[in-house]
A and B are shown apart, each in its own frame.
Chain A
């Protein structure tokens, strides 16, 4: 059982950064080719896109909607007040999500009315649902008024997952480009996993005995033999091991009126089956801890905190099973959006996203401003409700410096101001991107100068001339 704890802790450290469970921003930011993964039918403005290996798209998310990390960690509250603040604000089901994704490789290219994309992406995330009773037990103690000698945990959803996503997608434009349909197949290679498949625990904690009623199942799977640290790292085992799965994405976009487009996407519908280096820990039944046994003839060994904790864990009689196969589903997203381009440079969008995972539904809603101010620069801003947190104002930029595209964005600019740390999200990357000749809303001849290079210096006459072209 300790291995599960250690593995989870290690994975949290490794993640240190996130997969975006909210895709409100990237769903509409079509100037970044990689964001096509949020909607396979998203408009692709490029003839070809090649991601710079390793830095094509990096995304990090820390999402903690129940309390503000800025308040909890800031200097205004002392340690005791911070702990009280946290406990006052977390509710059953609240979670801490940490994730990270890196596009190791991304390529997209156009063939006629179609657009192909393929790539390799590394994803790691930690979903930690706060076990409130455990936290209160740790803080207040079993005999405190707050805990009252009872402990109840049910259906806690905590999972650490890391996998490699080999994906191939295709999008086709129909009806002169007014309708786009797209799909993507993902072949998944599991790297590491730890989760609580079952986590029901009722306990009565008195000074004469602690009784437990458990139905707990914890799974661990890994591409490497984590129990044999001397075995060394087998890269092929990590990249093409036995922990395999698949998933698919589907999307559709339709321009129902000029400049008014609706879209829908379902992504990450799939699962991974863990077969190699798996260990399952189970505890089911009624158990009692009533103190360390000192049997006649024993040496009368010591009592200390470690031995007590070990004894209590042992009292739960966890059964360790190795080699069992288990399957874990991905957190799947269902997104619908509507976008209206007021002009060819300024548009607005509304997006609703439903994220489903292990029977839980997380909902996000946002409105966005999309400013494709020129071919070489786009600005994006959004306001979003993310899992009930209403303090998310996002901004983003992309700059196409010739064929070199740089972008950076966040779902919550308050991260930068330090006023609210419920949600911290950050994406950036670098691609080689070549615009398609029939870029939507642009006349090639008029924009030829902009496409060729960014404006380094303009006189007032030229500036006026371009403004008139809007």
Chain B
């Protein structure tokens, strides 16, 4: 075998190995995907039991009917300073002759609203004593409050008045004052001033004494507290019914009630003019429209009196108030103390005096809905590469299958949003109301199958959407004119599938 033979053989092999096949992988980059898919997208069964599990406000009646109860022991309240306030006092000024052993002076407690106190306990406050001594020597005085004591001890204070003006302030917290002057009058204040040392003053010489109660707060009071207006502290509270959060309006309940519960240990009649306004998620305001409420309070010190005021469709605007589906309730108003004026019965209040106003909203879910709006957003939509091409989906059919046990029928408006701009929408007759018996109870499921075929432009706008807003309008049986009842065992199945024919360039 010659070398040339070997070389020829090897060369031939090399030539063969150099003939590698021609490969065109770019052709797949122009591939148009034309798959046809039928895909179930959403399967959601919601029962009222699911709602109940999430929402503690629902209770179940013995017959399985649902009732929504919101309770708050204290929405707002009043305390002792609201009812028994003492305004700033004028000074009691007297000239004290230095050549007598003592003298008595009296005055009246300044009050507001014509209040006439018979007994007071000072919770906080002070007594300011100011002396103008024109003599050349110091003078020693003792000031005693005649009709007051602290824990049984007569309140007395000594002071030395140096020549010129001097003053002293003493704490009078805990001071019990009998302002009735032994049952003869009200608001009576009396002082005794003893001259302990006149500093060698000659006859006719005097000092000027001014006594002023400052910043008195009442710890206990008996008497007539006057007729005046106290403001209800304005505020709001969230109703916190999650089931209502996405409803907008149109929820007409047959027998809603609100019970106001006023608990008070203040012996004081009060006429309460209360404003309760409900604000829906959409910001719509509806007033409850309450009449004035009269509260009498307890007749014996230390007792609590509870007043229950039932608000229903006959005494208020509660049906429309609830139909607005309030999410937030605003409260404000005013109370008139002693609305009948002075009746001869003493008012009283103690340091722990309070008047708390709570409420109990009781909504038996016997209702009718007329165009009750439910809204739900589906965000974070991402259709992936389908959004990069127009006409990437040739045909698209949304297929709804609904098994509904609720006595509502529903129409749905599905709105497509792109960058918060509404680009398109579709309307669907989503499901029909389940039939009801004479008691308004559903007797079975109503099955609805609805297909919505989307056109090319609509498909493109749907695929471009980054957010869908689903607005469902609910009407009870008979177009919202029949009152139905909701029971915990109601549920609804919503299935959404799609049939899609793609025309997508890879």
A residues with a Cβ closer than 8 A to B are: 70, 73-75, 77-80, 82-83, 138-144, 149, 205-210, 289-297, 300-306, 308, 373-374, 377, 379, 395, 397, 413, 416-419, 421, 455-458, 463, 466
Contacts and interface: CB of A to CB of B under 8 A. Distances in A.
Contacts of B401: 208
A79 B1 contact: no
A293 B376 CA distance: 15
B381 to A, nearest CB: 5
A379 B23 CA distance: 30
21 contacts: A73-B21, A74-B24, A79-B31, A141-B35, A142-B38, A142-B39, A206-B38, A206-B497, A207-B40, A209-B497, A290-B495, A293-B44, A296-B50, A297-B242, A300-B377, A304-B384, A308-B41, A397-B10, A416-B16, A416-B18, A418-B22
A371 to B, nearest CB: 10
Contact of B22 (A74, A77, A142): A74
A347 B231 CA distance: 119
Interface in B2-21: 2-3, 6, 9-10, 13, 16-21
A300 B42 CA distance: 11
Given A209-B40, A295-B46, 20 more contacts: A78-B30, A82-B28, A83-B31, A138-B35, A141-B36, A141-B502, A142-B39, A143-B37, A206-B38, A207-B40, A290-B495, A291-B43, A296-B54, A297-B54, A302-B379, A303-B381, A377-B6, A416-B18, A416-B19, A417-B19
B43 A293 contact: yes
B54 A208 contact: no
A423 B481 CA distance: 77
A458 B379 CA distance: 85
A404 to B, nearest CB: 16
B60 interface: no
B132 interface: no
9 closest cross-chain pairs (CB), A and B: A418-B21, A141-B35, A302-B380, A207-B38, A291-B43, A207-B497, A79-B31, A143-B38, A75-B24
Question: Would you call the interface of chain A mostly helix, strand, loop, or mixed?
Answer: loop
B37 A302 contact: no
Interface string B352-382: 0000000000000000000000001111111
B342 interface: no
B451 to A, nearest CB: 10
Most B CB contacts (10 A, CB to CB) among A70, A144, A303 go to A303
Contact of B40 (A77, A208, A374, A395): A208
A358 B297 CA distance: 92
B496 interface: yes
B17 A416 contact: yes
Interface string B334-364: 0000000000000000000000000000000
B479 interface: no
Contacts of B382: 302, 304
A294 B43 CA distance: 7
A297 B39 CA distance: 24
A75 B38 CA distance: 34
A304 B44 contact: no
Most A CB contacts (10 A, CB to CB) among B27, B380, B381, B397 go to B27
Contact of A416 (B20, B36, B51): B20
B399 interface: yes
A140 B36 contact: yes
A379 B39 CA distance: 59
B221 to A, nearest CB: 52
B17 to A, nearest CB: 5
A206 B43 CA distance: 14
Nearest to B401: A208
Nearest to B493: A290
B380 A294 contact: no
A139 B38 contact: no
B50 A302 contact: no
Contacts, number: 156
A79 B22 contact: no
Interface string B272-315: 00000000000000000000000000000000000000000000
Contact of B3 (A70, A295, A457, A466): A457
B419 interface: no
Contacts of B38: 141-143, 149, 205-207
Contacts of A417: 16, 19
A207 B39 contact: yes
A291 B40 contact: yes
B383 interface: yes
Contact of B28 (A79, A295, A301, A416): A79
Contacts of B41: 291-292, 303, 308
A207 B35 CA distance: 14
Given A208-B495, A377-B1, A144 B35 contact: yes
Contact of B46 (A142, A207, A296, A305): A296
Nearest to B242: A297
B25 interface: yes
B381 A292 contact: no
A82 B27 contact: yes
Given A207-B40, A292-B42, A296-B46, A374 B1 contact: yes
A139 B13 CA distance: 40
A156 B54 CA distance: 46
B158 interface: no
Contacts of A289: 40
Nearest to B3: A455
A328 B381 CA distance: 45
Nearest to B466: A302
Given A144-B35, A291-B497, A73 B23 contact: yes
Contacts of B19: 416-418
A379 B9 contact: yes
A463 B54 contact: no
Given A302-B378, A456-B3, A290 B28 contact: no
Interface string B400-422: 01000000000000000000000
Nearest to A379: B9
A140 B35 CA distance: 4
Contacts of B10: 397
A294 B42 contact: yes
Contacts of B381: 302-304
B33 to A, nearest CB: 8
B36 A73 contact: no
Contacts of B399: 207-208
A377 B5 CA distance: 11
B40 A210 contact: yes
B3 A75 contact: no
A205 B37 CA distance: 9
Contacts of A308: 39, 41
Contacts of A413: 16
A397 B37 CA distance: 54
A296 B51 contact: yes
Nearest to A141: B35
A294 B496 CA distance: 11
Most B CB contacts (10 A, CB to CB) among A78, A297, A373, A413 go to A297
